[in-house]
Amino acid sequence: MTFREKAEVLDQAGLDRALTRIGHEIVEQAGGADLALVGIKTRGETLAARIAQKIASIEGQRPAVGALDITLYRDDLGTRVEQPQVRSTEIPFSLKGITVVLVDDVLFTGRTIRAAMDALMDLGRPRVIRLAVLIDRGHRELPIRPDYVGKNLPTSRKETVAVMLAEHDGQDRVVIQEPEEGEASADGAAPRKREATTTPPRRTIKKGRE
């Protein structure tokens, strides 16, 4: 199944402004001390590093940044044909008593965030966990809501949101994609990943991955 671009949601400047605002909001609410950003792999990790940079330029101090792989905590293991690839979790600091801001690119069903919170709890006991996402596209399946949002984006379930970042995709932009006409069920394998079933959002935005 192929997708065609329907609309550009954020360009490079827009994406940068959104991250700047999120950085300001985090500092305003949480302060700069005892703060860590934990990005959900892969694009969340990149976004966390960028937001940390923004906070560094506001506060003069860069918060700790970690990366979380949630594969081992997914709720759809064993229901897929293949096992998703396990990547490493890198959180080289203690979570005890600090404010952790989870960072992801797209918030969709909320299942990734559920998994991420379970993973964090296994690693320590943060004082507070907050959630920052670049895009909130709706269609939640769990009672989860973001604290910092780059852009709210109403979508249909058939569409996908592709977040492209220079580090991975050579450019910074966010686009909505929709399936090509008349091709909706042409391919047996791809729609499982692409369509909004119970698959977490990260799996739906794999356009142009590394």
Residues at the interface with another protein (CB under 8 A):
69, 72-73, 77-83, 85-90, 118-119, 122-124
Q: Which is nearer to another protein, 60 or 88 (CB)?
A: 88
Q: Which is nearer to another protein, 69 or 104 (CB)?
A: 69
Cα–Cα distance between 184 and 204 in angstroms, integer? 15
Name the residue type at position 177. Q
Q: Which is nearer to another protein, 37 or 91 (CB)?
A: 91
- To another protein, the closest distance from the beta carbon of 86 in angstroms equals 4
- Counting runs of H as helices and runs of E as strands, what totals does the chain give? 5, 8
Q: Which is nearer to another protein, 89 or 155 (CB)?
A: 89
Cα–Cα distance between 59 and 1 in angstroms, integer? 46
C-alpha dist (Å) from residue 102 to 6, 47, 119:
29, 10, 11
- To another protein, the closest distance from the beta carbon of 122 in angstroms equals 6
- To another protein, the closest distance from the beta carbon of 20 in angstroms equals 32
CB 132 within 8 A of CB 103: yes
183 CB-near residues (< 8 Å, 6+ apart): 1, 2
- To another protein, the closest distance from the beta carbon of 135 in angstroms equals 27
Q: What is the DSSP letter of 90?
A: B
